[in-house]
C-alpha cells in the first residue's frame, strides 16, 4: 500500500474522555474562558435526570439555563429560539447534550446569534443561496462544548445540518466553517448508558460507518488511516457488548472519538458513498441515518470492493482475508445490534420512493469524496437500493 503525500489540517478542541469526566465539565469550560453555559437538548434528554443531574452538577455555577426544545428534524426556527434564549441569559457558551440534532441546532444557533439573524433572514437567505452563511465576524460565534450521549460521531465537525420551512417546501441545508469546530468535548461513557438501547444501536451504525468510509475516501491520509483503523477495531470489539459491559462501552465510546477524528475538516471531508445513501433514504422516507446505513452499507461496500477503488486499508482494518471479510464484518455487527436487514422491513418505506432516494443519492455532494475508480450513477444507486429492498 503506497503512502501518498498529504496535508492534514485538523484542529479540534480539547477532548475530555473517560468514565466520570462529566464531573469536570465546569473545569473544561473554565479552561476555555467560558462562564455562562446554556445547555441545548431535546425534551426527552432534558427530562432524563440520570443524565441531566450529572451534567448540571458538572457545570455547577456555570450553568445559566436549559433549552430543551430540539427535535430530530432540526428546524431553523428552533435554532433561532435557542439563540434568543442565549441572549436573554447572556450565555457565553452552548453545551449541546444528547445526539447530533442538538449539536446541529446549537451550531446553527451560534452562527445566527453572531449577527442577530432571525427566521425571516434565514428563509430569505436560503431562498436566494440555498444555504446559511457564516457571520462576517466569526469572533462573535458562541463557543460550543458538546456532551454527546449517542454514537453517531457528529461532534468533531465544522458543518451543521438544519431544515428550513420556506412555506411551499421544507429544505435541508446547513452552515459550515472552520470556526464552528467546538471549543472542547466531553465524552463520558457513563452518560451513554442513560440513552435508550434502540437509539444507541441506530446511532452506532452511523458512527461506525464514519470510520469505514474514511478508509477508502479520496481524502484519506496516513493519519486518518491510523485513527480509522483503530476505530473499526475498537467498535467491532465494543459495540456488540456495550449494553452488558462497562469495559465494552468504554471501548465503543473511545472508538467513536477515533472514528470522527479528521473526518470533518476544511476542504477534505471523508464521508462519501454510504452517507450519500443515508441522505437519499432520509429525504425519501425520513429514515434515521443509522437504520439507513444498516440496510445499505453491506450492499454499497460489496459494490465498492468490486470496483477499481483502492480498498486495501479497509480490508486491513477488518483483518479481512479477501473482500468478503469486510462485508461479513459489517453484516455481523448490524445483526448483533438488532438493526434491520432489508429496506422493506423499515416502517414508512415503499418501492415507489426508491426513485427519489436514488436521485438524491446520486446528486449528493458527498460523492465528491468517493474514492478514485468508483462512480455512482442514479441507475447504480437504484440497483443497490433494489438489492437492499
pLDDT tens digits, one per residue of 231-245:
999 999 999 999 999
The yes-or-no verdict on residue 321 having pLDDT over 80 is: no
Interacting residues of 302 by C-beta distance below 8 A, sequence separation 6+: 323, 327
Domain match, 142 and 205 both: no
How many CA atoms does the CB half-sphere of 270 hold within 13 Å? 30
Domain match, 139 and 217 both: no
- Domain assignment present for 259: yes
pLDDT of residue 267: 79
SS3 label, residue 185: strand
How many CA atoms does the CB half-sphere of 192 hold within 13 Å? 32
Contact 341, 334 (CB under 8 A): yes
Residue 70 in grid coordinates: 430540539
Domain match, 158 and 253 both: no
What span, in angstroms and rounded, lies between the C-alpha atoms of 55 and 95? 10
- Domain assignment present for 3: no
For residue 111, CA distances in Å to 87, 120, 222 come to 13, 15, 33
pLDDT tens digits, one per residue of 36-90:
999 999 999 999 999 999 999 999 999 999 999 999 989 999 999 999 999 999 9
Query: Given the C-alpha cell 477508502, which residue does it identify?
Result: 216
What residues does 144 pair with on adjacent strands? 94
Query: Given the C-alpha cell 462485508, which residue does it identify?
Result: 327
pLDDT tens digits, one per residue of 1-49:
567 788 888 889 999 999 999 999 999 999 999 999 999 999 999 999 9
Q: Write the DSSP string, 151-173.
A: SS--SS-SEEEEEEE-SS-EEEE
Of 189, 219, 241, at which residue does a domain stop? Answer: 189
Q: Which of 167, 92, 160, 59 is nearest to 123 (CA)?
A: 167
Q: What is the CATH number of the domain that holds 131?
A: 3.40.50.1970
For helices 197-214 and 289-305, the axis angle rounded to 10 degrees is: 30
The yes-or-no verdict on residue 291 having pLDDT over 90 is: yes
Of 134, 166, 189, at which residue does a domain stop? Answer: 189
Backbone angles phi, psi at 255, to 5 degrees: -65, -40
The yes-or-no verdict on residue 323 having pLDDT over 80 is: no
For residue 258, CA distances in Å to 11, 29, 387 come to 14, 22, 31
pLDDT tens digits, one per residue of 120-163:
999 999 999 999 999 999 999 999 999 999 999 989 999 999 99
Q: What number of other Cβ atoms are within 10 A of residue 233's Cβ? A: 17
Domain match, 172 and 305 both: no
Query: Residue 367, class by beta-carbon neighbours within 10 Å (0-12 exposed, 13-18 middle, 19+ buried)?
Result: middle
Residue 349 in grid coordinates: 418505506
DSSP 75: B
Contact 321, 233 (CB under 8 A): no
Backbone angles phi, psi at 250, to 5 degrees: -55, -45
Domain match, 118 and 229 both: no
Interacting residues of 383 by C-beta distance below 8 A, sequence separation 6+: none
pLDDT tens digits, one per residue of 335-383:
999 999 999 999 999 999 999 999 999 999 999 999 999 999 999 999 9
The yes-or-no verdict on residue 322 having pLDDT over 80 is: no
pLDDT of residue 8: 84
Domain match, 182 and 314 both: no
Interacting residues of 187 by C-beta distance below 8 A, sequence separation 6+: 15, 16, 17, 18, 21, 148, 253, 254, 256, 257
The yes-or-no verdict on residue 198 having pLDDT over 80 is: yes
Domain match, 102 and 172 both: yes
Domain match, 52 and 104 both: yes
Domain match, 304 and 348 both: yes
pLDDT of residue 370: 97
pLDDT of residue 195: 95
What span, in angstroms and rounded, lies between the C-alpha atoms of 227 and 222? 9
What span, in angstroms and rounded, lies between the C-alpha atoms of 389 and 384? 9
For the chain, how many structural domains are there in total? 2
pLDDT of residue 3: 72
Q: Domain limits at 308?
A: 197-388
pLDDT of residue 290: 93
- Domain assignment present for 6: no
The yes-or-no verdict on residue 329 having pLDDT over 60 is: yes
pLDDT of residue 4: 76
Residue 174 in grid coordinates: 446547513
Q: What is the mean pLDDT of residues 286-302?
A: 95
Q: Write the DSSP string, 326-343.
A: HHHHHHHHHHHTT--S-G
Pairing of strands 93-98, 37-42: parallel
- Domain assignment present for 8: no
Amino acid at each position: 500500500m503506497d503512502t501518498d503525500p498529504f496535508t492534514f489540517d485538523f484542529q479540534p478542541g480539547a477532548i475530555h474522555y473517560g468514565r466520570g469526566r462529566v464531573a469536570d465539565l465546569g473545569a473544561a469550560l473554565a479552561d476555555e474562558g467560558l462562564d455562562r453555559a446554556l445547555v441545548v437538548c431535546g425534551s426527552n434528554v432534558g427530562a432524563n435526570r440520570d443524565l441531566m443531574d450529572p451534567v448540571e452538577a458538572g457545570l455547577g455555577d456555570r450553568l445559566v439555563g436549559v433549552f430543551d426544545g430540539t427535535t430530530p428534524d432540526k428546524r431553523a426556527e428552533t435554532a433561532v429560539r435557542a439563540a434568543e434564549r442565549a441572549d436573554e441569559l447572556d450565555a457565553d457558551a452552548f453545551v449541546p447534550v444528547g445526539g447530533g440534532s442538538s449539536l446541529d441546532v446549537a451550531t446553527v444557533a451560534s452562527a445566527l446569534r453572531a449577527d442577530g439573524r432571525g427566521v425571516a433572514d434565514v428563509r430569505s437567505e436560503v431562498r436566494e443561496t440555498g444555504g446559511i452563511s457564516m457571520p462576517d465576524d466569526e469572533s462573535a460565534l458562541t463557543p460550543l462544548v458538546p456532551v454527546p450521549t449517542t454514537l453517531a460521531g457528529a461532534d468533531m465537525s465544522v458543518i451543521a445540518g438544519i431544515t428550513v420551512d420556506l412555506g411551499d417546501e421544507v429544505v435541508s441545508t446547513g452552515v459550515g466553517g472552520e470556526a464552528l469546530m467546538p471549543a472542547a468535548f466531553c465524552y463520558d461513557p457513563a452518560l451513554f448508558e442513560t440513552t435508550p438501547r434502540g437509539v444507541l444501536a441506530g446511532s452506532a451504525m452511523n458512527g461506525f460507518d464514519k470510520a469505514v468510509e474514511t478508509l477508502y475516501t479520496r481524502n484519506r491520509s496516513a493519519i486518518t488511516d491510523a485513527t480509522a483503523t483503530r476505530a473499526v477495531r475498537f467498535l467491532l470489539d465494543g459495540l456488540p457488548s456495550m449494553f452488558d459491559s462497562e469495559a465494552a462501552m468504554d471501548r465503543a465510546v473511545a472508538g467513536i472519538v477515533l472514528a470522527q477524528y479528521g473526518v470533518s475538516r476544511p476542504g477534505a471531508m471523508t464521508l462519501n458513498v454510504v452517507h450519500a445513501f443515508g441522505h437519499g433514504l432520509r429525504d425519501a422516507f425520513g429514515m434515521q441515518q443509522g437504520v439507513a446505513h444498516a440496510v445499505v452499507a453491506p450492499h454499497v461496500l460489496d459494490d465498492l470492493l468490486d470496483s477499481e477503488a483502492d480498498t486495501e486499508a479497509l480490508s486491513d482494518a477488518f483483518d479481512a482475508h479477501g473482500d468478503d471479510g469486510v462485508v461479513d464484518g459489517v453484516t455481523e455487527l448490524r445483526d448483533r445490534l438488532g438493526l434491520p436487514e432489508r429496506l422493506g422491513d423499515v416502517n414508512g418505506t415503499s418501492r415507489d420512493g426508491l426513485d427519489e432516494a436514488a436521485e438524491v443519492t446520486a446528486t449528493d455532494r458527498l460523492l465528491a469524496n468517493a474514492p478514485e475508480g468508483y462512480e455512482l450513477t442514479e441507475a447504480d444507486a437504484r440497483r443497490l437500493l433494489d438489492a437492499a429492498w
